Every structure is written in structure tokens, then in C-alpha cells.
Structure 1
Amino acid sequence: MHSCSLFAIAGLLLALSSPAAHAQWVWKDNRNQVHASDLPPPRDIPDKNILQRPTPGNPPRAAAAAPAPSAVASDARPEPRQRVDPELEARRQRAEQEQAAQRKTEEARQAAQRIENCNRARDALRQLESGMRIARINEKGEREILDDQARAAETQRARDVAASECR
């Protein structure tokens, strides 16, 4: 035997027997290099190049839900599960909760503003429809009484606001 193939066999045996690596999958790539991992090999690795699969009693940490080797079809290997950092996941969930709370607060503020606008529009509409004379202060600081045309315009504006805000 050549010394090169002896090194390859020794490396393979070392990779297969190394408990420290916790590798469950061992395969050869297209350049005949041996790889060991707790994740399944890439999809382009043919089934004949997979040298070791996880044992049914000892599933890999990242692919605990992977089916037993006999249940794996030749071209349908399980998708590797992405590893999620628990701290990162907790931060993401807190950020989502904060955003949801902010949306809820903003929606409540807008609802309160709509109620306020509705009440003001209804009050203004009652005053305008009461028939009493209504006086306003103009930009010069002078008091002026609304004529019929101005009263009709204000009444229509109050109705529009009430229709849009009072749901």
C-alpha cells in the first residue's frame, strides 16, 4: 500500500473513532477529502460517498428530528436545522414584544384622539344646528357673527368630521 492511502485510512479511522468531535456524519467530497460533522453533508454529495450516518439512538444535536438511516431515501436527505443562539432568540422576541406594545399604545392613542375629535365635531354640529347666533374672533381680533353662508359651510365641515371620526 502507498503511504498516501495509509494516511487516508488512518485519517478515516481517526475521524470515525474520535469521540471528542461528536461527529455523526462522515462523508467524502468530490476531491476525496473526508469530512466529519454533526450536520448532514451538502445535497450534492452522492449517497455512496456518505461513510457514516447518525445512529438511531444518538441523533445529532442539530438534526435531532432526522429519520433513521434506513428511512432516508438516496436523494432525499434531511434539511440541516439552523442553530439558534438562545440569547439572540430572546432578544428578538423582546424586540417583537416591544414593537407590539408600541403599536398597541399608538393604536390606543389614535382611538382616543378619534373619540375626542368625534365629540368635538358633534358638539360643534349641535351648536350650529341650534339656530343660536355664533360669533367668532377674526385675525384682527374683532368679533364677527357667522352669516348663513358661513354657518352652512361650518355645519358641513362639522358633519364631515363627525362622519369620518365617529365610527
Structure 2
Amino acid sequence: MFKPSFRILFAAITLSLAGAASAQWQWVDDSGRKVYSDTPPPAHIPQNRILKAPGKGAGSSLKPAATAAPPSSDNVPAEDNDLKAKVDAADNAQQQEQAKKQEAIDKKNAEIDRKNAEIERQNRATLCNSARIRLDQLTSGKRLSTVDQKGNVGFMNDAQREAERKRAQEDIRKNC
């Protein structure tokens, strides 16, 4: 006799908890995130952004909770102004920090660009110097030796010398 009543009691408790668990609100907040809560959304949330209300399913027509009435004390506007000033100060501090970080990044990028330009200038100077030396060797009239693909040493003929001279002149034109 105890077992059936225990089962009924257990089923009743389970069903009541399921009802409480389904008493959830779901809406999309101002930043576009879905919010799940057992309390209604703030009054400024439009009805079309309330996705689910307790007992009504998706798109319920239940009204959101009204915002709490402000206390009737005279110092509320001062507190609001203080809060707004603190928020503005925090925003300004964050913007200044962001600006400092961006300035540091810009300085690093400028330094990297300057170093790259210096390296490029040095490379061009080296290539220019090598091309001038090669052109001087090719126009000197001396016999120049070359090594072929098999490793055999040979001498440049006039056609090879002229082709190398043109390449050296082109390198000088590009890099000097």
C-alpha cells in the first residue's frame, strides 16, 4: 500500500517542478543575445523581441514587467547624474587607453616599415655594386671562365659575354 502512494506523490512533485521549470521568459536583449529568466523582461524590450513567456509558448502576449518606480527622494537625480558621470569617466578612460594602444601599434608599425625600407636600400646597394663589378669584368677584354652544368671549366665566347653584359646593365638600371 505504501508503494503506490509513494509513486503518486513522486509523480505529483515531478509534475509540479516541471510546471515551475517551464515558467521561464525568453527574449533578445539590446545587444542581440538571448536572455532566459524567471522574471519578465524590462519594459523597454519591445513585444516582438519576447520569444517565450510562461504558459503561453513562443511569442506570448504577456506584458513585460514594468520598471520599478523610482524612490521619491530628492537625491535621485543627483545619484543618476553621479552614475552617468562615472560611466562617462569610465568610457573616456577606456577610449584613452584604446587610443594609447593604437598609437603604440602605429609606432611599432612605422618602426618596422622604416627598418624594412633600410634593409631594402642596403639590398639594392649591394646588388648595384655587384652589377657594376660584373660589368667592369665583362668590358675589360680579359678572358672570363665559366663552369658548365657538369662542372667543367670553359671560357665565355662573345655571345655569352654580350648577354651577360646586357644583364649587368639591366641590373644596374634597376638597382642603382
| TM-score normalized with structure 1 length | 0.54
Q: Which amino acid in 2 is paired with 1:91?
A: K
Change in CA separation of 1:93 and 1:139 when aligned onto 2, cut-off 3 Å: same
SS at match of 1:136: strand
Cα distance, 1:88 vs structure 2: 1.8
Instruction: Name 1:18's counterpart in structure 2.
Output: 77
Cα distance, 1:89 vs structure 2: 1.6
Q: d(CA) in 1 for partners of 2:149 and 2:162?
A: 21
Instruction: Name 2:5's counterpart in structure 1.
Output: none
Cα distance, 1:137 vs structure 2: 1.2
- For this pair of structures, how many residues does the alignment match? 106
Q: Which amino acid in 1 is paired with 2:80?
A: A
| Unmatched segments (≥5 aa) in structure 2 | 1-68
| Unmatched segments (≥5 aa) in structure 1 | 1-9, 24-36, 39-60, 63-81
SS at match of 2:154: strand
Q: Find out whether 1:108 has 2:118 as its counterpart.
A: yes
Q: Find out whether 1:152 has 2:162 as its counterpart.
A: yes
Structure 1 or 2: more helix by fraction:
2
Q: Which amino acid in 2 is paired with 1:87?
A: E
| TM-score normalized with structure 2 length | 0.51
Cα distance, 1:140 vs structure 2: 0.9
RMSD: 2.9
Q: How does 1:33-112 map to 2 (within 5 A)?
A: 83=92, 85=94, 86-112=96-122
Instruction: Name 2:53's counterpart in structure 1.
Output: none
Cα distance, 1:128 vs structure 2: 0.3
Change in CA separation of 1:15 and 1:153 when aligned onto 2, cut-off 3 Å: farther
Q: Find out whether 1:122 has 2:132 as its counterpart.
A: yes
Q: d(CA) in 1 for partners of 2:127 and 2:98?
A: 43
Cα distance, 1:90 vs structure 2: 1.3
Change in CA separation of 1:15 and 1:151 when aligned onto 2, cut-off 3 Å: farther
Aligned equivalent of 1:134, options 135, 144, 155: 144
Extract structure 1 runs of 4+ deviating beyond 2 A: 13-17
SS at match of 2:78: coil
SS at match of 2:79: coil
Return the index of the structure with the highest Cα Rg. 2
Q: d(CA) in 2 for partners of 1:15 and 1:119?
A: 84
SS at match of 1:141: coil
Equivalent pairs: percent with the same residue? 24
Instruction: Name 2:32's counterpart in structure 1.
Output: none
SS at match of 1:18: helix
